[in-house]
Structure 1
């Protein structure tokens, strides 16, 4: 059976029926569907997406069968328009446009007015009665075709046009006459000969057609399309369709027009028509800004204080027809539509409809309004809003109207925007912040020791590190904007200066960072604060009704916990205790503990830390009273807590009474070549069990205090990190249980608690059945599990992961969206084996993937109990969990 590649539409014909977007692309499917419901669509045909892959496989050639199908498509257009393609007397002109499954605005190529040549331009002039229109159309076609198909320098044609206007003393293109355009066409053809190796501009209309079809298919692989696909997670193998359609002209006098409209306001979401149009113009004039467009409605014109008549006033009859089409399309598609239309001498034509792009604020309002109007269900409203887009609502954003001087671009590691004074170390950040200054902490990379400065800063900028680097993870948890991995940044921390793009920025200079785009700017750019309006709460309530997965927060400060509760967190899924140890008031005691020669010395220091830890946990338990709180015992290697700079050694020596040389010797002993796989996690607890004993006692004392005070007992879940064997967890559980027993005996009470582990090593996943004999819960630490499974450092991977994604080695950055095939299989295996041993074992993830919608969908499919995300990503996780539950129903 022969494969069909060409599908006709218009004139009562719709080969594609209601339109399969996978086959016909978004544009082609919607054209077919509009034609099938009787809307005025210029006739045409679609060459399917299947031809896109074949086009490349067969060396950019089209089989005769496809050429024959396309010839039938041209005949279909000719029959309806009563014009002939290439006819010198009354020519049919067509447009050739792309159309992927998902809208990729401006990313691929288009050719308009195809079919014009030295003969047909004369016929067009006669039949239209407007020679100026005909020659203007011909010069537009030569310019566009030369750019898109022949790949000639677009600037050469623009320069010729500008010179022609200067010679005539014109300011606008609309001032050129028919003779002017005809003279320019002659110049354009000469430019083609000069730039195209002496070959003339193609006069054969069929050669023009296939050249354009090939170029539009080819634009699927252009660089901007590849980048757009990567940024929007669009698979490269989807391909684009090509749509060939009869031209209709909005530039045939004062009863003609062209425009773009939305059935609702895409910025605010208001239920009002929104759009622009131009009389006597083609669509590209609206887009190119050659002329200032006019408002669609009278009310919009009056609100803006504009004088030129709206379409409602200038073309009232056609506007009335258009308004009916708007209502029909929105009801038919049950979504806000983005529409392109043309009016040719009083006749309305629909060129395109698609679900309109919208801001997060508008998406929420439109979804909630449509559900309340009965156009869609509440569940459909929940499915309509992109969870990732909620970031726009939860963080300050830059004022879109404000000017900006961009000097560098890195990774958009944590959303939001901030301006402040540049500082190069955490201590200075804290001091300046205490003086009331807004600061941006600029570091080559951050470490846990920078935590106080990161907290004090309004934003964080690093030269190294990826989307899940320390800076990125901590910044997201704090709700601080962060731009990481700005490889072009040359930082000289000693001189307190950084250089980039030939610019020099010193400490105290003001910069702005945009964590949503990765841009770094000189000077202060005004920000707009988020507004969490009623629609947000309404949609979140609907989402919570349908989701199965619980959503917790990664939080270790009272502010984190309060923020998480505001955003709907149902507990804490990861409280990292190491950040508490870097507090200036207790770092000396921590260092004394590390530097102690024996257990006795360590216990003396740990006794000083106990009340501090208890106070930390008390604050968290008070905020999370009655909810589960997963606390990870000390995880990083001890050397991270020791000083590095010469002046720091002197300061510690003075505080501890230990000589500088002895300090340096101990630091050298603790130094590790590969600390990520070194003496950290439960290995610390096995070696120095008194550390975990102190932390466990602090947890249980705090829990008892809060239960007695509030009447609502928190549910501590004590998590042992980096377990690889059953025996490690068994030893640590004994330490924790012993501490619990002692505290409960002292307080005369008992509390519910769990002891479990973070699964972050492949061996732990494989031996989950044995580990579950001891562990009462598993929390998958997907950041480290990804590192240890792939053998890739997340802090260094930014140098090559983009290339890996571009080359299809990984579909997405595995530190941003879970590697389902590799890491995911280990999680599934661990979940299965853990449940087999302990049927009621609690399972969740607490890596950064807990806030990624695609990873959350995997967690739903795997049957995990909860996900844990940074506080500001909790709403994203709630909505994504609801959407995953709805998808699972289907």
Structure 2
């Protein structure tokens, strides 16, 4: 058709078919057909692309809508929504100019909700919104419905290249060259009164995986009201009783049918108009890692998918989310506020009230919590950067909730007790909650599992894995052809790795054993020692520490191989940096502070990654290799003596020449013989 009629002609032909189905005419003053213009990418990108509703309204067609509905308030509410959305999306004016006028009017009328404004006020808003558009662009609002349509189509196509859409594709690995379709769909109206409404439903709980229909809805509203968080919606469970019970039963029936058909959890958008249910779209639901594991296992139990499909449906990044920390059960935190637990886990960070600032601080290595009245797609880069997201408004299906869940990001939404003011403090931002004020930079903890907002940095612990995880991993084990080892630098790491099914340690980085407490001091003493005697003195302190750690690792991985890399410290990571650190080390070594500072300065390298480290350190100071080898083999002999099997593999790091390997391996083998002779037993090693 497009080849014969051209693009515009084909579009007109499609519109004619839509008119026949709806029994309305596009642009007709008596019985107008209104449409929504929506994106349609091959891969769902919730909230990232543009949508325009109620397209086709002008000063003539709105009167036809008034006559046909006998509801002037509904007609002018739809009209002001359309002008506002068109100015935002097509003319790129943003939401703020229109929201400011709307908020000012609500304050004058002393009402909190848009739906409480009468028809005359909404008619006045339409005129004022058009004036804003004319003043800011120098162009009049387009009254011709066909001109409106082509402007909207172009804007939706362009939204594929917006920053938020590009960022979303980068985070989720979606190719940029896929592009998007544009869908033109006849409107149905959820803003026609209390027997009309709109909502979003999930066929299972996408935070936990529980098999229960859940979601949010609003009466007398359109879809943007629910997902934007501008109004805090109600749970669809409230639809079960009362005048919306019939709508709920129909929704429940269709939701179950859709899940069976697609064999996966569905994210459904719906509208009901005067009690009649309309399904707007269905797509695969975003879910947390915890939910993904449970859903995959239970769908197998329901014979909707196979075990092979279950294993393939849970990507590695979802499994990573399963290990997100949680607030310690024995913690006694100060609860500032409570909201809806939109995405589980717990996170600690500085309060930040602007997405750009969240991104900037995160790039500097700061942990931040993004706090907003509600999020919009323009905040996406800030959500990516933040450890957690907190909003004052919105429900479980709001933009913040859906995006955070899809990324495995801790999130609490609809915290009604908090009043967010992003502009307070000269633009720094703050929020008030139950008599407390939290300002930018103040540390808080967000608990996405319970919905709590906690003051300060609260103690966090690792979660316990459930039966669903064990089942999925059993299926994966039965199908895999590779054996998996873990990185483990401490006995606790090794025990955790074994608990999760690792069949050995592929890399134990011995320098990582010295980052805490008195160990870092002994390590620094060894690095800055002026002679061999000083180094041996420091190494004598390190020997029992390393030996004890190796014993713990061998115990945890008994019967499985453990690869231990000899010391490979980038010196810049261990050297004292601050004046206080230099002073503390100088006192421990009984050395003048100035002399130690000169030593530290002399050890700074232009390129530490190619500097004095790895086997080069052991060649310069053989005593370092000797002490490490002794700690390894003494620990191995002790564990073998307790009846456990030990499999040791010693790695000589950063070898460039065969002579380097020969010298270092000779030291390791000599020390092994000495230890085996002294202990009266040997241990096989590589």
The two structures have a TM-score, normalised by structure 1, of 0.59
Instruction: Check whether the contact 1:395–1:417 (CA below 8 A) recurs between aligned residues.
Output: no
- What is the CA distance between 1:397 and its match in structure 2? 4.3
Alpha-carbon separation, structure 1, partners of 2:336 and 2:363: 17
Matched, 1:81 2:26: no
Are the structure 2 counterparts of residues 415 and 319 from structure 1 closer, same or farther at C-alpha, using a change threshold of 3 Å?
farther
2:529 is aligned, of 574, 592, 595, to 595
2:202 is aligned, of 239, 262, 280, to 262
Report Cα offsets for 1:421-464 as digits up to 9, x if no partner.
Answer: xxxxxxxxxxxxxxxxxxxxxxxxxxxxxxxxxxxxxx9xxxxx
- What is the CA distance between 1:143 and its match in structure 2? 1.6
- Tell me which residue corresponds to 2:378: none
Alpha-carbon separation, structure 1, partners of 2:83 and 2:538: 81
Alpha-carbon separation, structure 2, partners of 1:67 and 1:250: 31
Alpha-carbon separation, structure 1, partners of 2:276 and 2:262: 24
Report Cα offsets for 1:162-202 as digits up to 9, x if no partner.
Answer: 455566665543344444433433333333333331x3211
Alpha-carbon separation, structure 1, partners of 2:308 and 2:364: 31
Matched, 1:545 2:449: no
- Tell me which residue corresponds to 1:249: 189
Q: Tell me the SS of whatever aligns to 1:250.
A: coil
Q: Tell me the SS of whatever aligns to 1:394.
A: coil
Q: Tell me the SS of whatever aligns to 1:549.
A: coil
What pairs up with 1:655-694 in 2 under 5 angstroms?
A: 670-694=603-627
Q: Tell me the SS of whatever aligns to 1:718.
A: strand
Report Cα offsets for 1:481-512 as digits up to 9, x if no partner.
Answer: 9xxxxxxxxxxxxxxxxxx9699xxxxx9834
- Tell me which residue corresponds to 2:73: 132
Q: Tell me the SS of whatever aligns to 1:259.
A: strand
Matched, 1:717 2:653: no
Report Cα offsets for 1:805-855 as digits up to 9, x if no partner.
Answer: xxxxxxxxxxxxxxxxxxxxxxxxxxxxxxxxxxxxxxxxxxxxxxxxxxx
What pairs up with 1:215-294 in 2 under 5 angstroms?
A: 215-253=155-193, 255-287=195-227, 293-294=233-234
Are the structure 2 counterparts of residues 77 and 722 from structure 1 closer, same or farther at C-alpha, using a change threshold of 3 Å?
same
- Tell me which residue corresponds to 1:726: 658
Instruction: Check whether the contact 2:200–2:215 (CA below 8 A) recurs between aligned residues.
Output: yes
- Tell me which residue corresponds to 2:509: 576
Alpha-carbon separation, structure 1, partners of 2:319 and 2:364: 15
- Tell me which residue corresponds to 2:12: 71
What pairs up with 1:458-477 in 2 under 5 angstroms?
A: none
What pairs up with 1:276-315 in 2 under 5 angstroms?
A: 276-287=216-227, 293-296=233-236, 300-301=237-238, 310-311=239-240, 313-315=242-244
Q: Tell me the SS of whatever aligns to 1:617.
A: helix
Alpha-carbon separation, structure 2, partners of 1:114 and 1:622: 69
Instruction: Check whether the contact 1:115–1:205 (CA below 8 A) recurs between aligned residues.
Output: yes
- What is the CA distance between 1:376 and its match in structure 2? 1.5
- What is the CA distance between 1:266 and its match in structure 2? 2.2
- What is the CA distance between 1:149 and its match in structure 2? 0.8
- Tell me which residue corresponds to 2:142: 202
Are the structure 2 counterparts of residues 64 and 161 from structure 1 closer, same or farther at C-alpha, using a change threshold of 3 Å?
farther
Instruction: Check whether the contact 2:2–2:10 (CA below 8 A) recurs between aligned residues.
Output: no
Report Cα offsets for 1:629-672 as digits up to 9, x if no partner.
Answer: 11111112668766667777777677667777876666565443
Are the structure 2 counterparts of residues 648 and 118 from structure 1 closer, same or farther at C-alpha, using a change threshold of 3 Å?
closer
- Tell me which residue corresponds to 2:491: 558
For these two proteins, the number of residue pairs brought into alignment is: 593
Are the structure 2 counterparts of residues 564 and 416 from structure 1 closer, same or farther at C-alpha, using a change threshold of 3 Å?
farther
2:154 is aligned, of 214, 224, 238, to 214
- Tell me which residue corresponds to 2:384: none
Are the structure 2 counterparts of residues 140 and 669 from structure 1 closer, same or farther at C-alpha, using a change threshold of 3 Å?
closer
Alpha-carbon separation, structure 1, partners of 2:597 and 2:108: 78
Q: Tell me the SS of whatever aligns to 2:669.
A: helix
- What is the CA distance between 1:208 and its match in structure 2? 0.5
1:382 is aligned, of 311, 323, 326, to 311
- Tell me which residue corresponds to 1:467: none
Report Cα offsets for 1:674-715 as digits up to 9, x if no partner.
Answer: 3321111111223333422332233223212211212x3211
Q: Tell me the SS of whatever aligns to 2:642.
A: helix
- What is the CA distance between 1:716 and its match in structure 2? 0.9
- Report which stretch shifted further, 580-589 or 729-738: 580-589
Instruction: Check whether the contact 2:74–2:191 (CA below 8 A) recurs between aligned residues.
Output: yes
Matched, 1:524 2:456: yes
Matched, 1:145 2:77: no
What pairs up with 1:101-116 in 2 under 5 angstroms?
A: 101-116=42-57
Alpha-carbon separation, structure 1, partners of 2:173 and 2:47: 17
Report Cα offsets for 1:831-882 as digits up to 9, x if no partner.
Answer: xxxxxxxxxxxxxxxxxxxxxxxxxxxxxxxxxxxxxxxxxxxxxxxxxxxx
What pairs up with 1:307-706 in 2 under 5 angstroms?
A: 310-311=239-240, 313-397=242-326, 402=338, 406-407=351-352, 409=358, 410-411=361-362, 511-512=443-444, 523-524=455-456, 530-580=463-513, 584=518, 587-588=521-522, 591=525, 595=529, 597=531, 609-636=542-569, 670-706=603-639
Instruction: Check whether the contact 2:528–2:600 (CA below 8 A) recurs between aligned residues.
Output: no
Instruction: Check whether the contact 1:611–1:698 (CA below 8 A) recurs between aligned residues.
Output: yes
Structure 2: where are the runs of 5+ without partners?
A: 328-334, 340-348, 370-386, 388-408, 410-426, 431-440
- Report which stretch shifted further, 577-586 or 627-636: 577-586
Matched, 1:119 2:64: no
Structure 1: where are the runs of 5+ without partners?
A: 5-62, 302-309, 419-458, 460-480, 482-499, 504-508, 755-890
Are the structure 2 counterparts of residues 666 and 171 from structure 1 closer, same or farther at C-alpha, using a change threshold of 3 Å?
closer
Are the structure 2 counterparts of residues 566 and 415 from structure 1 closer, same or farther at C-alpha, using a change threshold of 3 Å?
farther
